């Protein structure tokens, strides 16, 4: 065999060995990559909830002050000195019940005491004076009169609110309201909107809203602070999911829907939004499962397993 042929055989052998080594390395890398991919696709546990149908209310939250359905200051009809009160604050009185007595005696002249009576049945919410103080009847404008007491009809109460002008076309008389007194965590009474002013205050950019609420048990008294939810719309069969399921991504509102253990990014259109739930107008159907805890951590194609399902 010539030297040239021997060299060719040696080069061919080296090439074959090199190809074998390269192929083996590629195979090992492919297996390692496949194993790593399988590890990265290990199902992650998630907390999820089903889309359900339920009644959902669209609400506006306002703040207001409690006032009697009727309130009036009581004035004397004659000048004199306040002799005594015959009632106490927070006492219930009937119409024409005596509230106070005014001594109208003048020097050298004797008059019978003047009786100051309640103008209607209600509660005495404030006594303004001390016995012995001088009192005067009101003038035509009532600017010079001396109020002796204030009486409020509390069988019903008014909740007086000032709503931002952006709600002027959303709140209407007759709409139901829910009342929560300051310091409580329960919506304890229902009523309805009974009055709305026809114009917006240009200084505060608000308009007056009044709601009337039953008060036969005397729970509400004038001066209380109340939180009011005005129910502007009710959907009796809304498709809803927990509010925490929503994700904002790339300018879209999406949810992470779970299908056969795989995450699917689904764009949704929303309607009524409450503290706990959001109405879904399109994108989901009843019983679809969505991730509700940390949904923004997942992406299309992620493998998951449902570790816990939340129920309303």
pLDDT at position 18: 39
Residues 107-148: tens digit of each pLDDT: 667 788 999 999 999 999 999 999 999 999 987 665 678 999
Q: Band the pLDDT of 198: cuts 50, 70, 90.
A: confident
Domains defined for the chain, CATH in brackets: 44-56+236-310 (2.40.420.20), 59-65+159-234 (2.40.30.170), 76-147 (2.40.50.100)
pLDDT at position 34: 44
Instruction: Give CA–CA dist 52/50, Å, rounded.
Output: 6
More confident residue, 275 or 126: 126
More confident residue, 163 or 216: 163
Read off the pLDDT of each residue in 89-100 and give the average, rounded to a whole number: 96
């Amino acid at each position: 065999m010539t030297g040239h042929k021997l060299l060719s055989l040696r080069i061919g052998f080296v090439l074959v060995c090199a190809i074998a080594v390269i192929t083996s390395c590629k195979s090992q890398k492919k297996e390692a990559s496949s194993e790593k991919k399988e590890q990265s696709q290990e199902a992650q546990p998630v907390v999820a909830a089903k889309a359900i149908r339920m009644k959902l209310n669209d609400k506006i939250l306002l703040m207001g002050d409690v006032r009697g359905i009727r309130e009036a200051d009581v004035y004397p009809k004659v000048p004199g000195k306040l002799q005594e009160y015959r009632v106490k604050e927070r006492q219930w009185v009937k119409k024409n019940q005596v509230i106070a007595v005014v001594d109208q005696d003048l020097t050298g002249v004797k008059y019978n005491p003047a009786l100051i009576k309640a103008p209607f049945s209600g509660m005495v919410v404030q006594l303004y004076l001390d016995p012995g103080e001088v009192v005067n009847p009101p003038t035509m404008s009532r600017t010079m009169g001396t109020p002796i007491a204030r009486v409020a009809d509390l069988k019903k109460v008014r909740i007086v609110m000032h709503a931002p002008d952006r709600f002027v076309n959303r709140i209407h008389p007759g709409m139901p309201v829910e009342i929560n007194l300051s310091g409580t965590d329960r919506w304890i009474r229902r009523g309805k909107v009974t009055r709305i002013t026809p114009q917006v205050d240009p200084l505060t950019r608000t308009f007056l809203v009044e709601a009337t609420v039953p008060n036969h048990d005397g729970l509400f008294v004038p001066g209380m602070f109340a939180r009011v939810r005005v129910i502007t719309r009710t959907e009796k069969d809304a498709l809803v999911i927990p509010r925490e399921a929503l994700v904002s991504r790339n300018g879209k509102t999406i949810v992470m829907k779970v299908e056969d253990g795989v995450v699917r990014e689904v764009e949704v259109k929303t309607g009524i939004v409450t503290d706990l739930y959001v109405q879904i107008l399109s994108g989901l159907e009843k019983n679809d499962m969505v991730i509700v805890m940390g949904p923004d951590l997942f992406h299309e194609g992620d493998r998951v397993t449902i570790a816990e399902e939340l129920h309303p």
